[in-house]
Chains A and B, each alone.
Chain A
Amino acid sequence: MPDYPIIAIIDIGSNSIRLQVAQSLEKSYRIIQDYREILRLGDCVFSKGYIDGQTADLFYKNMEVINNLIQNHKATIIRAVGTAALRDAQNAYEIVKTTKERFGIDIEIISGKEEAYYNFLAVLYNFDIKNMNALTIDIGGGSSEIVISQKGELVDSYSTLLGCTRLKHEFLKKDPPSQSSIYAMKDFIEETLQNLDDINIDTIVATGGTLNNIAIMYYMSQNKKATSYAKYVPRSYVKSLINTLRRMKIDDIKKIKGVEEKRADIILPACMVIESIMNFYNVEGFYTFMGGLRTGLLIDTLNKIGLSFPFQTLDSDLKFSRLIELGNKFNFEEPHALCVNDLAKKLFEQLKQTLTLQDKDFALLEAACILHDIGTYISFSKHHMHSYYLITNSDLTGFSIKQKNMIATISYFHRGSLPNKSHKFYQSFSKKKKDKIKKLAAILRIADGLDRSHRSFVKDIKVSIEKDNIKIVAISSEDTFLEMKAANAKKNLLEKVTGKKVSII
């Protein structure tokens, strides 16, 4: 395996300072360190205009911790960026200079437009927005970066002064805030938004720690699992939250389930910004996910050293490129995975009527085909079990948790014993889903068998279905003795689900 570089990304925001250390892989990356401290540089900058001595000391202390982590991980590429707080701080130059002198780290102060672009890159990486008009927004401490895209192409970007720490300092001077200050803040937000393009927006994707915190609050209020990677928050919730928070003291806000203590004072401005955006574009909710600027910076940094991601190079949907990327993360054999997927597709098309499967079911089979062997990353022995574990514990963009579990289960059954009562994870599905898993796994088993040598010898498949028999003809110009043997050994599940005798020649 080639020696891929270790990259450290430092995001110095108005609210928090973050470090993410990642090991780059061929078409992916693996996060090996994540560090965050809520420093609130913006509190100082937006009230005084500069970073005072005490805050600067705290900043350097954190930079020291970050620098140690970077050294420990032997990162070879370090990229540190500063956003609104450093853009606005009168003594930013001094901070940048001292950081360089003390730690050898160069801080790049990026413009609002650049910030918007990196966020957009992170959204592109996480959401399938290729067929829609999307608005991506990062509500930070000092500014909000907004990108409008049409069919995945960036159309316009805006950097606005709608940062939640900035708004807090500008308007919310009393605790609880006065009614007039709330109205004035709303008025300011509305006026700022008048500059945006008035186009039809299908979806809003928001990033930033505070919005993610709002999403966690919503999920917890609904007794939903708050750890899911991507979350959806309805506008109605944000509206009612605004009307609750605006009358509360910060100490009381801190007691609300899910509120991150250090963000308690900036949740209300963040809610009001995102609600106004939803209102402006008449959208009934927003998506959010973990990541944002640092993800975009990581992608951009990897791009700059010549590594590109499947979502940037594959002419396919995001779901597929993320599957390839996940496979890469676990050093899968891409040609074998693609060959199995191709053969499975051919089998699926010819068997779907007999198996009463719908076209949309292929998405689950496709994911299982790509990922069925990733367990070999841990050990070849019982790798189907490892695949199951790795898939269930990965983020699969575009699939629900239930679908992810189905994909893992289909992958599990690509070899070894057939589904039975001893497989508790399998038994946890409904009868209908169990039936689907069995049928899709039956196809995967044969497709995998037909590439037993991992040399992609079988090029095509013809299936003929009779009353009691299914005949599968594998077309190849090579010697496929091994493939025939393996496929015939794995046809048992297909025979079981169809009740027909299967012959593979």
Chain B
Amino acid sequence: MLFYDVFEEIIINQVSEIESNFKEFYTKDEALHDLRVAIRRLLSYFLVFKKYLNTDTQLLNTLKFFLKSSNIARDTQILIEKINQLDIFENDLKELKTYLEKEYSIQKSNFYNILSLSFDDFLIKINQTIVQKSYRKDGFFDFKFETITFLSLNAQAKKIKKIKPAKKNLHKLRIEYKKYRYILEILQKTQVQNQKIQERLIQLRQLQDKLGYVQDLSVHIEYLKSLKTILPNSINAIQALIETFKSNLKQKRKKVIFLLSFLRFFEINWGEYA
């Protein structure tokens, strides 16, 4: 299989995923989440195979903008879920929860409006890219899908290894690991029997959950701090939440840094799945 044929198929799939989630934005519970995943995947594919593509910068910026404009809605949604776990103390958190739900609704609607405005242009642009095959780069027409994927995997692994597992790098590592996983996932489709890939994917998903959890806690802490002045009646509950998240973050961060260091030292051949 030639790289560009497979790549084209992948892009078409992701675009149709984005389209269907956009259509079901208000009718499907997980639409916001699924839509963001599809956007992030599409963006990641363009980025990880950048070397082999003629990438339209405007297209990439649009995708980045889509993600950025949905960040608050997504973070608020996660925070509401967290607070729901504490629903036995609902009297403490009632005001905060009401505020967050309102905020979530506003942010979700803002994101939808932004998408509605630019979605058609985005679709036209990406369709043109596919139809005109303008993403193809001279010199790589005959390259096999597996060759380029393995090369990209190796490059991504090297990139990850350069980043030191430290507190300040956790978010960066989370993004790079995610890209690595996305490449591995498309590779898995052509190598379903490869046990190594299966095992690595499980490991990466678990790692991703841990890194995601840490990132969410950091974001929640900052966001809650900003709410202290907006919701003075809930200041005690907000402060208690901040302290809880902080102590949790400290423990979780320590564990995840340890795990990342372990992976960095002992899992050095991440590009080799043959």
Contact = CB atoms under 8 A, between A and B. Distances in A.
A and B part of one assembly: yes
Interface of A: 178-180, 182-184, 186-187, 190, 239, 242-243, 246, 272, 275, 279
10 contacts: A180-B243, A183-B240, A183-B243, A184-B244, A186-B86, A186-B89, A239-B88, A243-B88, A243-B91, A279-B88
Contacts of B248: 184, 187
A243 B236 CA distance: 16
Contacts of B92: 179
Which 7 A-B pairs rank lowest in CB-CB distance, beginning with the nearest?
A179-B240, A180-B243, A180-B240, A183-B244, A184-B244, A190-B85, A180-B244
Interface in B222-274: 236-237, 239-244, 247-248
B91 to A, nearest CB: 7
A186 B239 contact: no
B209 to A, nearest CB: 10
Given A184-B244, A187-B248, A179 B236 contact: yes
Contact of A186 (B88, B91, B247): B88
B241 A180 contact: yes
A447 B247 CA distance: 71
Contacts of B85: 186-187, 190
Contacts of A182: 89, 240
Interface in B34-83: none
Contacts of A242: 88-89
A279 B90 CA distance: 14
Nearest to B236: A179
B88 to A, nearest CB: 5
Nearest to A179: B240
Contacts of B91: 243
Contacts of A183: 86, 89, 240-241, 243-244
B86 A180 contact: no
Interface in B69-113: 85-89, 91-92
Contacts of A239: 88
A261 B267 CA distance: 54
Nearest to B91: A243
Interface in B5-59: none
B151 to A, nearest CB: 38
A6 B86 CA distance: 49
Nearest to B243: A180
B89 to A, nearest CB: 7
A464 B249 CA distance: 80
Given A179-B237, A180-B239, A187 B244 contact: yes
Given A183-B86, A183-B241, A184-B243, 14 more contacts: A179-B92, A179-B237, A179-B239, A180-B242, A180-B244, A182-B240, A183-B240, A183-B243, A184-B247, A184-B248, A186-B86, A242-B89, A246-B89, A279-B87
B134 to A, nearest CB: 46
A133 to B, nearest CB: 23
A227 B244 CA distance: 40
Nearest to A178: B240
A243 B244 contact: no
B88 A275 contact: yes
A190 B237 CA distance: 19
Nearest to A190: B85
A239 B89 CA distance: 9
Nearest to A239: B88
A21 to B, nearest CB: 41
A347 B244 CA distance: 67
A248 to B, nearest CB: 15
A184 B252 CA distance: 13
Nearest to A271: B88
Nearest to B93: A183
A396 B54 CA distance: 80
Interface centre among B85, B91, B247 (most CB of A within 10 A): B85
B72 to A, nearest CB: 23
Contacts of B236: 179
B18 to A, nearest CB: 29
Question: Looking at A182, A184, A242, A279, which has the most chain B CB atoms within 10 Å of its CB?
Answer: A184
Nearest to A272: B88
Interface in B136-154: none
Contacts of A178: 240, 243
Contacts of A246: 89
A236 to B, nearest CB: 11
Contacts of B242: 180
Nearest to A189: B85
A279 B85 CA distance: 9
Contacts of A272: 88
B208 to A, nearest CB: 15
A190 B88 CA distance: 12
A412 B91 CA distance: 55
Contacts of B241: 180, 183
